[in-house]
Structure 1
Amino acid sequence: MRIPGRIPYPLLRRAVATDYRDETGEGYDYSIGALAYVSGATRDNPLIVKSVPLEDREFVAADGPLERTLGQWWLQGQASWHAGAGQAYRDAPGAEGQPGSPNAVRYALSFGVDPWTQGELSLLPQARRRQAQTGAPLYVTSDRVGPKPVLIVNDMASITLHVLTDAAADVWAPPVTRTDPAWGQVYMTVPVAGVLWFVTSNGVWRIPLDPFATATAVKVYAWTPPAGIKPRLMFARERLIALGYVGLGANGFQAALYELDQSKEAATELPAPIYKFPTPGMLWVDGCDGPSGFYTVTQSGAKGFIHLWTLTSANPPVIGAPLQMAELPWGEIPTGIDSYLGSMLGITTSNGLRVAEIGSDGALALGPNLVDREYGKVGANAFGYDRFLFAGFTHTNGAAGLLRVDLSMPLVSQQVAYQPAQRYAWAPDLAAYDDTEKPVNGSTIEVSAIAGRLVFSVSGQGVYVQSNRLVPDGTLTSSAVRYGTLEEKRLRFARVTGRGVTGRLEAYLSTGDPPGRLLIGLDLSKDRDSGDIPLYEPAAQAFRVTLVLVREPGSTTLGPVAVSWQLKASPAQPRQVYFVLPLLLYDREIDSQGQEVQRNGAALERLLALRNANRTGEAVRFKVLHHHQEQRYTAMVTVEDLQFVQPDSPRIDSAWGGVVNVTLKTAE
């Protein structure tokens, strides 16, 4: 191998002193940083340019069994959705950074699907209209008459009773309507032990609940609420309680709480209030029972308050003065409250839904708002049933329906034993459908349940009851898949699996707004596993998978079950380039134009500059200084490796130096 040697001295041509910093291209082949170099390439030691192989890098530690690095592939997938909706990114940090966070089983948004059974996704039932609204908004509650459940609907002028005679077959008796002009406007109904109590614009009335018996309502208490103000009734601590008002003339009114005698069957005077709030203008919003007393929600201007009412130790016990347990943030207006097994409260507000955990003394640990507006709007009152909490909800497509919160699935890891979780899994739930099986738009007013079926009323539409008929189709959009890095990726394969033998399962892929492009259509009557489907998608930072479940044609009760999806990807960053350059490093050199250049110490200076760039790893500018402008090249590089070779010892009359082989890697 020939290595260019030192230049003999003296030479015929005159040596010119230089600082080796000329980057004009005159005489030099390359510059690295601020220093110029002459190529030392030979046949045996040539210039080499080659691509850099991709590094095998793993993304962040994953929580799910379908998420890991396998050989050259990055894998991410999902095999359960039971931690609910509301997660924008799958690689979001776990609760307080704790391992085993529920991120792997959460998703972004859904409509018409049931994610609450671990390991599967299925279609929800439709809510079908039971009573149409013909006038004022409808309000609902429920009770039982003997073995038969009764749905009670109030339209502010009359009360209609619907009896479910066969829950399995969804058979109802003809509705019975009670009305009397003497009632005035009916504000609220409360069933208690076979008696239906209701408060109107002129008093408190009672009537036997049995729709099959002839009955006449009796006014038990007479009062006239302030104009435009609606009093309420509630049954708590085995007491019938009126949430009413006392007029203050020109000064407005005061909210007052009354305990009513349930044995009264004839008109009588309203008893004296147990308590009157001192602040004029306070409004009653709602109330519910609790483990150590009962709770009420009030509004005063732009503020909302939760109070606890307990029984005194007197004999017999009486209701004592209220204790303020929580105050909502200014501007957040409460709209409803309900309790769950005496341990939690669900509070609906103008901003969404909060869960409060009840302490042993009745104190409340008020949690944050669970639902951001981008995922839908929380509406009517909260309602606890089974292990869930339900609330009125307007879906992102405008459909009226329900939101469901799983109170057995906390989303926050508890760092200390006494710290409440307060954040729980939630997802959009039932929606109202018309006779053509299209979603019904509107706002949900009130929520209840009858014989295991959810019931809700929709403004301007009517009362809807959970049916046995599945929705025609449902969708679920995953959280954005980023593989734990903002670098772009290329998807290579997708796979979807299902269960059952009916219906169709489809998977769509999007890098923007879902649903995106159809990837897979799986007919479960023929196949339950798509296998790896090759993809040729443009590189992107993040991807979303949307699953669409389609009901079996010709059936209203059979549909598919989704089991899992998985994406295989590889890094898509630009391939970097290696330059392996042999460079002359002498104090005295002949440049590419035949000009001799000389300066003592120049070789060592440039060698040390390369060594420093290699040591620090900082990017420097690399230029190919060709005398033709169109053949010049510039890039930012790092000095990855260098090897200096001095072929023989310099003599006194010779220039010090040798050849350095430098490996550069593009850093762009």
Structure 2
Amino acid sequence: MSRLPARIPAPLSGRSGGASETYTPVDASYDIAIGGMPFMLAINPERPMTRGLAQIRKEQFDNQEIPGEQSLADWWLRSQATFIGGAGLLYQDPDVSNQWAIQYGDSVGLNPWVNGRLSLLRRTELDVTAATTQRHHVLGYADGTDRYWSAADTVLTSSDGSSHTVVTWGGTETILSLASDGEDYYAADEVGIYQGTGSGAGTLAWNTGDPDVVVGWAMGRLMAGIGASVYELAGGEPPTLPEPVFTHPAAGWQWTAISEGSSAIYVAGYSGSVSAIYKFTLEVDGSVPVLSGGIQAASLPHGEVVLSMSAYLGTYVGIGTSRGFRVGELSDSGDIVYGPLLVETPVRGMVGYDRFFFIGAEDAINGSSGLYRVDLGQPLESQGPSASLRHAYATDLQAHAAGEVDGVTLLGNSDRVVFTVRGSGSYVEHADELEPTGTFTTGRVRYNTLVEKIFKFLTVRSERPLNGSITAAVIDPTGGENTVITVSGNASIENVLLRSPVTVAEWLQLKLTINRDSVNPELGPVVTGWQFKALPGEIRQRVFMLPLLAFDHEQDRYGQIVGWEGRTLGRLEAFEQIIQRGDVIALQDLRTNTTTQVVVDNDEYEFRQSVPPANCGGWGGYIYIRLRTVTDAIT
């Protein structure tokens, strides 16, 4: 007579048991065990056991406001066809600021600011050599020819970008500041402020007697910050200074920049770790407008000092600080509301042109200096009251030399930018010739998930002929860079198979190296878009659909009868307590002596009883359960 298994003494409760609970065979030859409970399989043509792979991608309806690659089936796609959102993107995923796929990771030597085009910038050339350790100033002007003044150490030079004239400006000390009313220059040293026209000789206009001097032309008048005081240099008995219009109460205060807005003159300065911008509004006293006292228009975060400032288009104020660059906006009252730091490098010089600010990039372009360009016409959405003041930016012109960028200006009335690198000299943007090479790097393409991916194909669209060459490479999470293909002439990069990385990866970056034409330096490739194709790379889970016997009395595969009258309900309740926890449980195949860790898939568990068991009352029927593996390990 066979031995029957003992009755279950009490229902299971709490989170006792789980993946570690297994069944040790005693007498009957059960087929499987789930969570430590043994069962006979109930397989027949009407109740098949199935085994397959779990679906990775779910069926979904795309109701997003912006249709896109998420609407397409099969491949996971990520592409970009415009670059006007600028650099600074870590992950190439759609979000609030990149919902139109306009941003990217980084670029050097490239112009992303024309919609749908990525092309080489113009190169620069060293114009006025100045191996100075002092601040090097530049200021553009035109006298029928586009020119600029260069002030380095004690030397003032007038240049048209190729030929130079040394100006006898009147002083003999280091030039500390430079301003212009459009025709005349005003050069300041620790002795005085000197005035001259074009490349003509200058004469003393005002005494200063202070090594801390900044001058600026604002709202039709010459302004000066000398020591802790601000002066309107008009009236009185030159060269004796008039009475100051404002003196800062901090004795150690130094003024650093002067600019004009639509209704006020702005002067920035600092003392120690405190920095602020003051406004001076024009009042009408009879027929002569005079300056009212200084009122603070903005204060900077502690430890951040204003180094340069330029109001532009009557609305914006560029603020260059010891920590980076901020875009400010003028309120109706003349106060300044500014946004977050866009770039984090000291910004000592800037100039506005078209819809852009060109600002100094100190040692920020692969270790060398040059310019950033900030697009005032492309605000990027963000949280908070200064959301519209976070603007697109990217690196721009390059000096291919390191050092502080003290001055930025335009060559006369042209669109050519001039900037200085301390210790090297002034660099002028070439009229026609392009940079020899430029690089573009996307953000990390991860498809908005940490799931491992198999990156399969790359497409890079470009205008043809290329007028140069394009090399495409990929960067993986290890930092490894692997070249995919180089094309030139009329060749294209269309669904090129990616042979690296050889394993799955969480993310991948695309790096393009764009080289100008080897014959004509004025021509270079134009990239119009790129695309990755990938597939999910995780090991797919296995899914089992099992029909199980659940009767009081059952017969194993050797004919042995197990069970007792009334055992089914207790077994069902105990089994349901095991699986309803949602925990990992052990699936044992007692026929092959293997164990797999599983969970109940999609809550698919059901007990069916179509008719009462024969010759007895109570419970008896079939269990249908769908299980999913949580690991590929089988023991």
Partner of 1:310: helix, strand, or coil? strand
Answer yes or no: is the 8 Å Cα contact 1:472–1:551 preserved in 2: yes
My pick for the range that moved more, 59-68 or 110-119, is: 59-68
Letter in 2 for 1:325: A
Partner of 2:490: helix, strand, or coil? coil
From 532, 541, 566, the equivalent of 1:567 is 532
Structure 1 pair 511–430 and aligned structure 2 pair: CA distance change class (3 A): same
- Displacement after TM superposition at 1:543 (Å): 1.7
CA distance in 2, matches of 1:327, 1:637: 59
Structure 1 pair 294–274 and aligned structure 2 pair: CA distance change class (3 A): same
- 2:190 is equivalent to residue 223 of structure 1: no
My pick for the range that moved more, 360-369 or 377-386, is: 377-386
Which position in structure 2 is the counterpart of 1:605?
570
CA distance in 2, matches of 1:578, 1:513: 33
- 2:391 is equivalent to residue 401 of structure 1: no
1:243-262 matches, cutoff 5 A: 243-245=225-227, 255-261=228-234
CA distance in 2, matches of 1:54, 1:131: 63
- 2:363 is equivalent to residue 390 of structure 1: no
1:234-633 matches, cutoff 5 A: 234-245=216-227, 255-261=228-234, 268-315=239-286, 316-371=288-343, 373=344, 377-393=345-361, 394-412=363-381, 421-432=388-399, 439-450=400-411, 451-467=414-430, 468-501=432-465, 502-512=467-477, 516-523=481-488, 525-527=489-491, 529-536=492-499, 537=501, 538-590=503-555, 597-608=562-573, 618-624=582-588, 626=590, 631-633=593-595
Normalised TM-score (structure 1): 0.83
From 192, 214, 218, the equivalent of 1:203 is 192
Task: State the Cα deviation string for residues 374-399 of structure 1 (Å, max 9, x = none).
Answer: xxx34322321111011100324111
Partner of 1:317: helix, strand, or coil? strand
1:110-259 matches, cutoff 5 A: 110-137=107-134, 139-164=136-161, 172-178=162-168, 183-209=172-198, 211=199, 215-225=200-210, 229-245=211-227, 255-259=228-232
My pick for the range that moved more, 551-560 or 405-414, is: 405-414
- Displacement after TM superposition at 1:562 (Å): 0.2
Unpaired segments of 5 or more residues in structure 1? 1-11, 96-100, 165-171, 246-254, 433-438
Letter in 2 for 1:25: P
My pick for the range that moved more, 146-155 or 33-42, is: 33-42
- Displacement after TM superposition at 1:284 (Å): 0.5
Which position in structure 2 is the counterpart of 1:6?
none
- Displacement after TM superposition at 1:627 (Å): 7.9
- Displacement after TM superposition at 1:176 (Å): 2.8
- Displacement after TM superposition at 1:78 (Å): 0.3
Which position in structure 2 is the counterpart of 1:79?
81
CA distance in 2, matches of 1:513, 1:346: 38
1:1-150 matches, cutoff 5 A: 12-13=1-2, 15-19=4-8, 23-26=23-26, 27=28, 28-41=30-43, 47-56=49-58, 67-91=69-93, 93-95=95-97, 102=99, 104-137=101-134, 139-150=136-147
* Cα RMSD (Å): 3.1
- Displacement after TM superposition at 1:56 (Å): 4.1
CA distance in 1, matches of 2:61, 2:139: 52
Partner of 1:269: helix, strand, or coil? coil
- Displacement after TM superposition at 1:243 (Å): 0.9
Answer yes or no: is the 8 Å Cα contact 1:480–1:544 preserved in 2: yes
Letter in 2 for 1:572: G
Partner of 2:116: helix, strand, or coil? coil
Structure 1 pair 55–617 and aligned structure 2 pair: CA distance change class (3 A): farther
- Displacement after TM superposition at 1:230 (Å): 2.2
Partner of 1:542: helix, strand, or coil? coil
From 633, 637, 643, the equivalent of 2:599 is 637
Identity of paired residues, percent?
Answer: 29
Letter in 2 for 1:456: F
CA distance in 2, matches of 1:612, 1:391: 67
Letter in 2 for 1:235: W
Letter in 2 for 1:259: E
- Displacement after TM superposition at 1:186 (Å): 1.8
- Displacement after TM superposition at 1:222 (Å): 2.5
Structure 1 pair 189–591 and aligned structure 2 pair: CA distance change class (3 A): same
| Number of residue pairs matched by the alignment | 609
Answer yes or no: is the 8 Å Cα contact 2:126–2:426 preserved in 1: yes
Structure 1 pair 510–599 and aligned structure 2 pair: CA distance change class (3 A): farther
Task: State the Cα deviation string for residues 32-88 of structure 1 (Å, max 9, x = none).
Answer: 234222344469866543323443456998898763343211211000001111111
Answer yes or no: is the 8 Å Cα contact 2:472–2:486 preserved in 1: yes
My pick for the range that moved more, 421-430 or 571-580, is: 571-580
Unpaired segments of 5 or more residues in structure 2? 10-20
Letter in 2 for 1:493: F
Task: State the Cα deviation string for residues 152-208 of structure 1 (Å, max 9, x = none).
Answer: 1111212111135xxxxxxx334334366x532221222235322211121122233
Letter in 2 for 1:423: R
- Displacement after TM superposition at 1:506 (Å): 2.3
CA distance in 2, matches of 1:648, 1:268: 115
Answer yes or no: is the 8 Å Cα contact 2:456–2:535 preserved in 1: yes
Letter in 1 for 2:423: G
Letter in 1 for 2:374: V
Partner of 1:421: helix, strand, or coil? helix
CA distance in 2, matches of 1:514, 1:447: 35
Structure 1 pair 313–414 and aligned structure 2 pair: CA distance change class (3 A): farther
Answer yes or no: is the 8 Å Cα contact 1:379–1:444 preserved in 2: yes
Answer yes or no: is the 8 Å Cα contact 1:49–1:579 preserved in 2: yes
My pick for the range that moved more, 127-136 or 647-656, is: 647-656
Partner of 2:423: helix, strand, or coil? coil
Answer yes or no: is the 8 Å Cα contact 1:107–1:477 preserved in 2: yes
Letter in 1 for 2:377: S
CA distance in 2, matches of 1:22, 1:422: 62
CA distance in 2, matches of 1:218, 1:400: 35
CA distance in 1, matches of 2:470, 2:36: 62
CA distance in 1, matches of 2:371, 2:295: 32
Letter in 1 for 2:245: I
My pick for the range that moved more, 295-304 or 44-53, is: 44-53
Letter in 2 for 1:238: G
CA distance in 1, matches of 2:65, 2:423: 45
